[in-house]
Structure 1
């Protein structure tokens, strides 16, 4: 037995010797202390610890840094302290978040002697003469002062007991007045009447004799081995803990030094680390600290936690709404402008369409006016023939020589001449009628022959017109037949005007129909005198004419008709140098963008 214990004792002695030897080196031991009673009180309370460490670790400075909860968290995370002395609830939070590890637990403190395993409780205090608060359940609807919601004995311990009574401090109290550290402010709020009750650390009233006559602990619990009145269960005492960055050799040296503190020599003593499972159970029940993720967040909690983000989001939504409203108004205004512009454009297009139709009608009437002299001669021939046959019938009747055959022959001739005159007048009336454009599928060859017949029927000495058909069989066009006839009649008349003073062999006009990939081409060619380059470049301009009595609108209107059909009208010198050739190009049914219009 002795042989086995010698190596163990030797090992322990060598470990202690190494730790003490290391502690002789330089540097500062920084201890962060939770100042629940204020910075000055914390320094006064924990000065024996600093004194013991300076004595046990010569050559090393010891610094006590008194901080509140938030500042102590920040200092530990930033590695500005090597050790922390704090309440059990705060330690459990730092253990989970920053890897704090307790090395000792406080045995006795500067207040009242307590056990390390039953040392911390909370007292609900009210004025000694206040009859309204006798039980914890009486706190419902009352004003309560607390240090803060993160305080262990100053809030969380009482919260657990109230939860067992079915009371939620966040909603069932009339007011939860947060006064902050030091904890004396809670008693001051109760004494001044700002609060009906307050939560403080147990033993705080007993350690101040002057307060015992003014305050009363509400619903004290009998806790064996606990010397003070407490309204809650009791928990292990405060620990001193290392952090992840604390040097292990320094931690061993500090542990050995603090274990050497004796009750007879110091008001503070330490013992081996206590079991903090009861603290874990309390925080698990309340779903706080490392167990906060167990709580189902309410809208109010989420709003309180994330109110800056929520405010920013609401601000963005509000800005988005304002911007959307602004854009909507602009869209409505621009839509109204576009509708107004569309109406004005439609009105303008209607006026332009009426003007174009009027111009086309006037152009047709102009052509008829220019041909009116020859029209009378053309009609005079059938009328004279009809008159002659009528006089012949009268004479034969008078002479009683009218046979049925002779009467039938004369009547037939008269009917044929009348039909001839009616056909001329019908074509002229249809040509001159003012109407809305109507497109239909037509045979281009038949359309050209009809235009040539109309042209020749309106002339006394009509020139010969040769129609050359090079179109594939079955070629059809979707056009306004009357408008295309107007273009062809205008081109034929221009060709006749250019050649009527020339020899007969040069008066012949040629109309050629052909088809290629660009559409159907109808070319009208005369053999008149060639035009100069300057004259030819202005042919389709309004009011340009080479005639002494012309208006200069015919070719301009003809080109607009061609373009309205998706085609074009071009002029070029004839290949043999005699006269001009006007080519009307129209898309056939496979290419016509206006088919069915």
Structure 2
């Protein structure tokens, strides 16, 4: 049958049988004699306090507010020795112990009803930020090496729970704790869980059971929860009191801290501080600090040391978003507005300025876009007119060439017409003389048909050359265009000179060009070559058209043996309206230069390297033909 539990544990004291402990709750196992001596000391302290109170009726009263986290009797048992020592060290003051719960201590500080405050590290950093408390000393426990590492938490589970090897295994488990704001009974473990990547609020099924911590131990033993969170050294104290038998419970995630006598599941934090409020007289604060630091060490009594560094507690609370950092955890609109209203106001001003600037820029962009659109439309219209004028000039140039060749053209067309008329009259005479034979009729009709085709071919080539159409780009054969230009010239001239075409271009490469425009260029250059050699011996009237590849371009040379041009004439050769012909307009070569440059090429002239005459050359980019 399970025995009844002992009285609630308060800071290391059991109300019926106090142990020699500290206010942080660490108790070393003591003998019955030590317990009896502690009780006698408590009784003597009460008697001495009464005597001192009677002798100090006129002394200034100093209120020390203590966080009685386990009740009034435990607070008196733990902190009466401190009051006794302070009254003895500073007889001009009468120190009084006032015990409070967390909410009561906060109200007492806010209403200026206490001069000094003794509380745990968690409540201290919270009230430090809210009320401006200033620590003057830190508790130094006799069985702990450093007051900077004196408080931690232990996660306990039944000994048969091998499925809980470390703190990470608590995910999804039922865990008992003291309260949401309990420093050693919840927050230290919560911080450690968060550092391991767990969310203490959502990843664990937490059950807050309040004080005393024996309730958590009992819940773990009964199996109501999977694990429980208590302060360090509590398990060792319960084992000493035989409240827990060895082998009943085990520590989850146990770790050993150097110089610390108890098992722990978490890192250690500084011990309890004693702090002064803002209204406390600085001289009193200095005297109290001096008296606390002068208290003797050892013999299991409370002693004090210089204030510890509580930054680890601040970092813990900041990471959890609790205490003075609660606003970081609860980012409500009201909290943000209350805390950051100057920044929010500046942000609103910047936002309004940004909107105004954006609207202004957008308006300017629209206005300038409209202006640019109008400018582009005007440019496109001008380019369209220029193209139209260019096409008109090219058409007029072709008509000019035809006009210059019209005399020879009439002769060439008249020759087949005369032949046709002769054959027709011959047929009529033979028919009248009754000498027309089928063979003669067939021969005459064949000659008439050939001459008609010859005349029709001349007219068709002229119509094709003179017609007006839009420019197109397509793969062209320069040799074929040169041959067509030669046929057109020879068909239009009665005594056309010899025109030799030499094609040395690479096979598989072609030029993308407008064939009619390239033919017009060749026809102009050939006609100029004919005019330059007019009246010269037949050997010098011959013309050569050479086509050759030069890297990624194709060169076309029109070579004559004519009279040539001097340097001054060559300098102005491609100027509009400059001509060396009495009846010329001076537009042929400028138009040819414009056509070639529009195709990405170049047109130039140079004296013939082989002697008299000129060499006109134009280049065009060539392209690989797909296989």
Q: TM-score range by the shorter chain?
A: 0.5 to 0.7
Unaligned runs of 5+ in 2: 1-32, 38-89, 94-109, 138-273, 293-303, 305-316
Confirm or deny that 1:539 pairs with 2:539.
no
Q: Give 2:378's aligned residue.
A: 344
Q: CA deviation at 1:247?
A: 11
Alpha-carbon shift at residue 295 of structure 1 (Å): 6.3
Whole-angstrom distance in 2 between the partners of 1:294 and 1:545: 90
From 420, 438, 446, the counterpart of 2:454 = 420
Aligned counterpart for 1:471 among listed residues 496, 505, 526 = 505
Tell me, what secondary structure is at the counterpart of 1:306?
A: helix
| Partner in structure 2 of residue 550 of structure 1 | 584
Which shifted more, 84-93 or 522-531? 84-93
List per-residue Cα deviations over 1:21-55 (Å, max 9, x = no partner).
Answer: xxxxxxxxxxxxxxxxxxxxxxxxxxxxxxxx9x9
Q: CA deviation at 1:588?
A: 2.1
**Cα distance between partner residues in 1 of 2:396 and 2:604:** 23
Deviation, 1:374, is 0.8
Q: State the match for 1:326 in structure 2.
A: 360
Quote the offset at 1:394 in angstroms.
0.3
Equivalent position of 2:256 in the other structure: none
Partner of 2:432: 398
* 8 Å CA contact retained: 1:496, 1:507: yes
Deviation per CA, 1:131-170: give whole Å up to 9, x if none.
xxxxxxxxxxxxxxxxxxxxxxxxxxxxxxxxxxxxxxxx
Q: Would the aligned equivalents of 2:608 and 2:615 in 1 still touch at CA under 8 Å? A: yes
Render the CA deviation track for 1:455-489: whole Å, top value 9, x for unaligned.
Answer: 12111221111112222345433321111111111
Report matched runs for 1:112-151 at 5 Å: none
Given candidates 134, 137, 141, the residue that maps to 1:100 is 134
Provide TM-score, normalisation by structure 1.
Answer: 0.54
Work out the CA distance in 1 between the residues paired with 2:444 and 2:412.
21
Is the CA contact (8 Å cut-off) linking 1:540 and 1:555 kept in structure 2? yes
Write the distance in 2 (CA, Å) between the matches of 1:85 and 1:330: 68
Q: Deviations over 1:159-185 (max 9, x none)?
A: xxxxxxxxxxxxxxxxxxxxxxxxxxx
User: CA 1:418–1:291 in 2, change beyond 3 Å: closer, same or farther?
Assistant: closer
2:420 paired residue among 381, 386, 392:
386
**Structure 1 residue 374 and structure 2 residue 378: aligned?**
no
Unaligned 5+ runs, structure 1: 6-52, 57-72, 74-83, 104-237, 257-271, 273-283
The answer to whether the 8 A contact 1:443-1:475 is kept is no
Among candidates 491, 503, 510, match of residue 544 of structure 2: 510
Inter-partner Cα distance in structure 1 for 2:508 and 2:331: 82
State the distance in 2 between where 1:500 and 1:416 align: 31
* Shift in Å, 1:387: 0.6
- The verdict on how the C-alpha distance between 1:241 and 1:473 changes in structure 2, with shifts beyond 3 A counting, is closer
Gap change, CA 1:101 and 1:537, over 3 Å in 2? same
Deviation, 1:507, is 1.1
1:32-82 residue CA offsets vs partner (Å, 9 max, x unmatched): xxxxxxxxxxxxxxxxxxxxx9x99xxxxxxxxxxxxxxxx9xxxxxxxxx
Q: How many residues align?
A: 360
Answering whether residue 441 of structure 2 is matched by residue 407 of structure 1, we say yes
Q: 2:276, 2:285 within 8 Å by CA — same for their partners in 1? A: no
Could you tell me the TM-score, scaled by structure 2's length?
A: 0.51
Out of 557, 572, 577, the residue aligned to residue 523 of structure 1 is 557
SS in 1 for 2:363: helix
2:525 to 462, 468, 491: 491
Question: Where do 1:102-501 residues align within 5 Å?
Answer: 240=276, 250-252=286-288, 290=324, 292-293=326-327, 296-501=330-535
Q: Is the 8 A contact 2:557 2:617 kept in 1?
A: yes
Aligned twin of 1:578: 612
Equivalent pair of 1:91/1:100 in contact (CA under 8 Å) = no
Match of 1:22 in 2: none
Alignment check: 8 A CA contact 1:530 1:577 kept = no
Separation in structure 2 between the aligned mates of residue 240 and residue 478 of structure 1, nearest angstrom: 96
SS in 2 for 1:492: helix
Distance (whole Å) between structure 2 residues aligned to residue 290 and residue 589 of structure 1:
77
Map of 2:593 onto structure 1 = 559
Residues 95 and 398 of structure 1, relative CA distance in 2, 3 Å threshold: same
Q: 1:94 to 1:254 in 2, by over 3 A?
A: farther
| In 1, Cα distance between equivalents of 2:558 and 2:118 | 111
1:360 to partner: Cα distance: 0.3
Structure 1 stretches of 4+ moved >4 Å: 84-94, 96-99, 238-243, 246-250, 252-256
Distance apart, 1:590 and its partner CA: 2.9
Q: For residues 558 and 294 of structure 1, do their structure 2 counterparts lie closer, same or farther at Cα, with a shift above 3 Å needed? A: closer
CA gap 1:381/1:474 in 2 versus in 1, 3 angstroms: farther
How far apart, in 2, do the equivalents of 1:445 and 1:541 lie?
Answer: 29
Which SS does the other structure have where 1:588 is aligned?
strand
Kept in 1, the 8 Å contact 2:559–2:616? The answer is yes
* Structure 2 counterpart SS, 1:335: helix
SS at 2:448 equivalent: helix
Q: SS in structure 1 opposite 2:624?
A: coil
CA contact (8 A) 1:513 1:522 kept: yes
Alpha-carbon distance, 1:249 to partner: 11
Give the SS at the match of 1:520. Answer: strand
Question: Which whole-Å CA distance do the structure 2 matches of 1:291 and 1:462 have between them?
Answer: 105
Deviation at 1:348? Answer: 0.9
How far did residue 530 of structure 1 move? 2.8
Structure 1 residue 242: Cα displacement: 9.6
